[in-house]
Amino acid sequence: MARRKGSRIHGWVNVDKPPGMTSTQAIGALRRLLHPDKIGHAGTLDPLATGILPIALGEATKTISFAQDATKDYTFDVVWGEQRSTDDAEGEVIAASDFRPAEDEIRAALPAFIGTIMQIPPRFSAIKVDGQRAYDIARNGNDVELEAREAYVESFELTDCDGDRASFRVTCGKGVYMRSLARDLAVELGTVGYITRLCRTRVGPFDVKNAISLDILEKMDESARLERCLLPLETALDDIPALAIGEPEAVRLRSGQALTYISRGDMDRLSAAGIEVSPEPKTCLALLKGRPVAIADIKGVEIRPVRVFNL
């Protein structure tokens, strides 16, 4: 059977991923429902994890990096007393401890994990080692040596504690592993532990308010899916300034040419957009009558296209 040609759909679908599904499977489900010509997601979720998985369609795939770089919110539960090979409930027990930290001990340990920290990712992660995914190497029974990497944790809060387990809420930057946070916190407290529940509740502007489950999407017809669930391409760009441009400027940007702003009127337009002229490059979204034209870098008086949208 011939493969159905992809549709020119541009925007984001904020999927509320269920447990037991990989991020790749979520992509496959949405591809089957909407048939986009291009598709990609903004940050992998573990199969056992639930929550926010923003999926970009069409030209919105050019904005994925902005969503990936956005801050994220997570909630998770940790069970004390066992360490698992995967640092979550899927793995085998590899260590045990009878010690259970008290609430005041947990709260006292959290500040050490806030700010810029060094973190070793879980052995079962999607990081590539010599061209292979770490989880593939680990599943084959081979040792995986992962180097510590810098990570940024904005906040780390204890929300519940009952002896054998504790619940947490985290806001963090790109590439922070909750399984590693739980593992390292347990070691800091003089015990071992692993995550039993993990939910991502926000990725930048994508949160539970604009998320939808695949089950609900399945029950809609295709037109309803697009009308009710497709978020604008520029959703992932909500934290960069928007610059209104005219048709001649749009033509130049679309052809890869730079604009030069030197007149007082041009300076006023930049100021109105909240953009300050500086030798340091700044990023903006160029809009023609409210429609995205390009992501552009502004350096001094020059505006140069970085990603052009074919809409």
Q: What is the dihedral of CA 125, 159, 78, 121, to 10 degrees?
A: 20
Per-residue b or e along 3-24, where b marks 16 or more CB atoms closer than 10 Å to that residue's CB: eeeeeebbbbbbbbbeeebebe
Q: How does strand 282-288 pair with strand 242-244? A: parallel
Query: For residue 140, what are the contacts with CB-CB under 8 A and spacing of at least 6?
Result: none
Query: One of 16, 37, 46, 238 is an active-site residue; which one?
Result: 46
Is-contact 258 226, C-beta < 8 A?
Answer: no
Amino acid at 283: T
Q: Is 46 a catalytic residue?
A: yes
Is-contact 106 166, C-beta < 8 A?
Answer: yes
Is-contact 25 52, C-beta < 8 A?
Answer: no
| Residues annotated as catalytic (active site), given as ranges | 46
